[in-house]
Amino acid sequence: MYEIPKISVPVELLLMDSETVEGTMFVTEDLVSAEGNPLVEDFLNEGLDHFFPFESNAGAYRLINKDHLIMVKSSQDDEEIKNQTLLPPKTLVIHFTNARTVYGIVYPTLVEESRVSDIINQKNIYIVLYQNGQKLIINRNHIIYINAN
């Protein structure tokens, strides 16, 4: 039987019902950055699969519905993205459908992404935000509005 090699990525998921679950996502080995960091956002944005495998720290194996995922907290920091852009980061406050509010910054990597509206209106559903240097992957379908500076 053919298996696609995967990388185990420790994360914390915030689901639509406000449940928070810590555990491991499994990202294909070809979805890594130049510095070797797993690109969880690319994994979530690719393909037509609505569910992805997840193992909680409690040992439960789940298939998580991408549509009900509000946010993924990663252990990655913002050092790599800081080295990839000369553009100034944008500060924002995101208000979600489940009454959560998240503060953070986004790093534009292209001149065409110099405004927050350019970043949030990309074709990808999952976008990256950094909070105190920690990488968060946000499902933009659950955003009600954003305050941006």
The CATH number of the domain holding residue 55 is 2.30.30.100
pTM for the structure as a whole: 0.89
Please give the pLDDT value at position 55: 95
CA-only gyration radius of the chain, Å:
15
pLDDT in tens, the chain (149 residues): 666 678 889 999 999 999 999 999 998 877 777 777 788 999 999 877 899 999 999 989 999 999 999 999 998 988 888 888 888 899 999 999 999 999 999 988 777 777 888 888 888 999 999 999 999 999 999 999 999 87
* 61 occurs within a structural domain: yes
Beta bridge partners of 21: 13
Residue 52: domain span:
6-75
Neighbour count for residue 96 (Cβ, 10 Å)? 19
- What's the total number of domains in the chain? 2
Instruction: Tell which residue, 146, 121, 142, has the closest CA to residue 72.
Output: 142
Please give the pLDDT value at position 61: 93
Q: How many angstroms from the chain centroid is the CA of residue 18?
A: 16
Tell me, yes or no, whether 110 and 68 share the same domain: no
* 1 occurs within a structural domain: no
Report the C-alpha gap between 49 and 42 in whole angstroms.
13
- Among the three residues 26, 47, 75, which one is the final residue of a domain in this structure? 75
Please give the pLDDT value at position 116: 84
Please give the pLDDT value at position 69: 95
* 11 occurs within a structural domain: yes
Tell me, yes or no, whether 28 and 91 share the same domain: no
